[in-house]
Structure 1
Amino acid sequence: MKRTSFANWPCSVARTMDLLGDWWTPLVLREAFYGIRRFDEFQQELGIARNTLSERLRRLVEAGLLEKQVYETMPVRHEYVLTESGRDFYGVLLAMTAWGDRWLSGEAGPPVVTRHESCGHDAGAQVVCSHCGERLEWPDVTARPGPGYPPKLLARPDVRRRFGLDDAARPAESNRPAG
């Protein structure tokens, strides 16, 4: 059965989920941030099937989040190193961790904490405005079409409603999609 692709949707959430594809991919990236680089190490740490791991690593290399580097020539063996794009994914994992810590940890508390070495304190991720630094909360933001939104789609009535383009008096909650 062929998987639906969201790669061309005009939504960064959909495009990111298309890249991730399943639960293994973020876990492979998590292990890369823990310093895992070699196939056997990923396989051992995650307990993932070799064919599944091969596919996830291939996809991450193709997408430019990991880079294959030769570490042995006889026989040729590769390790997987985070690229700039891959390192930039760390904020996504931290945001997922913050949500999981709040809603899924239970009474014992978070299973893993993140120490910010610069200040020496444990820290949690927050999504903040890139302009003023204020924390972004759903009631305080509005989604609107960006420069990459396809003009042809903006002509559709349902899309115009989503972004509140036809009715300025429309309630703010209804034009707050996550993409």
Structure 2
Amino acid sequence: MDIDTMVGMETMADREPRPRPCPAAASLELLGERWTLLAVREMRYGVHRFEQITRFTGASRDILADRLRKLEAAGVVERRQYSEHPPRHEYHLTAAGEEIGPILQALAQWGQKWGPGGTAEFAHDCGHPLDAVSVCRHCGEPVDRASLRVSPEPTG
């Protein structure tokens, strides 16, 4: 594209600001409440019983029950009964829930570098500390801001 074409183009920053449809925003409607991702984290670690999830997350019983109900309704977790008397259930991630794993890993990696941190460190099977990056499954190239395209473009 030549400079004459670029001069007449409207950029995203030039458009009238307004909320735009966004899959990240839609995902945060479900996953963005406090304790939700921590409950998913515990299930990824193999913790499935309500009492254990409560203890490992620090969430109150009422709040955790609410978050698990929402995750179940959205198809992210499923309840499995493990006791009839009294009725008791475990919570397991569905395929949709398992796909949250890279999000949690990215948050943990960011927190280790920029946030308040924590003591957990992750390593890959190869033995090296995990340094997860986003890559395109089609071409294998890294995904960064310069290579990302939004479709359809917001109109304004």
> TM-score over 0.5 for the alignment?
yes
Matches within 5 A, 1:1-179: 10-104=21-115, 111-117=119-125, 119-145=126-152, 159-161=154-156
The ranges of structure 1 where at least 4 consecutive aligned residues each deviate by more than 6 angstroms after the TM superposition are none
Measured after TM superposition, the shift of residue 122 of structure 1 is 2.5
CA RMSD of aligned residues (A): 1.9
Query: What is aligned with 2:4?
Result: none
% same residue: 38
What are the superposed Cα offsets for residues 86-118 of structure 1, whole Å, 9 maximum, x if unpaired?
A: 111101111212222221256xxx63222222x
Q: In structure 2, list runs of 5 or more residues that go unmatched.
A: 1-19
TM-score, length-scaled by structure 1: 0.70
SS of alignment partner, residue 102 of structure 2: helix
Aligned amino acid, residue 44 of structure 1: R
What are the superposed Cα offsets for residues 97-155 of structure 1, whole Å, 9 maximum, x if unpaired?
A: 2222221256xxx63222222x333212211122221211112323221xxxxxxxx7x
SS of alignment partner, residue 114 of structure 1: coil
Query: What is aligned with 1:174?
Result: none
Aligned amino acid, residue 75 of structure 2: G
SS of alignment partner, residue 141 of structure 2: coil
Q: In structure 1, list runs of 5 or more residues that go unmatched.
A: 1-8, 146-153, 162-179
Aligned amino acid, residue 134 of structure 1: E
Does the C-alpha gap of structure 1 residues 140 and 21 become closer, same or farther in structure 2, counting only changes over 3 Å? Answer: closer
Aligned amino acid, residue 115 of structure 1: A
Question: Which of 132-141 and 78-87 deviates more?
Answer: 132-141
What are the superposed Cα offsets for residues 8-51 of structure 1, whole Å, 9 maximum, x if unpaired?
A: x7311011001114121011111111111011111111221111
TM-score, length-scaled by structure 2: 0.79
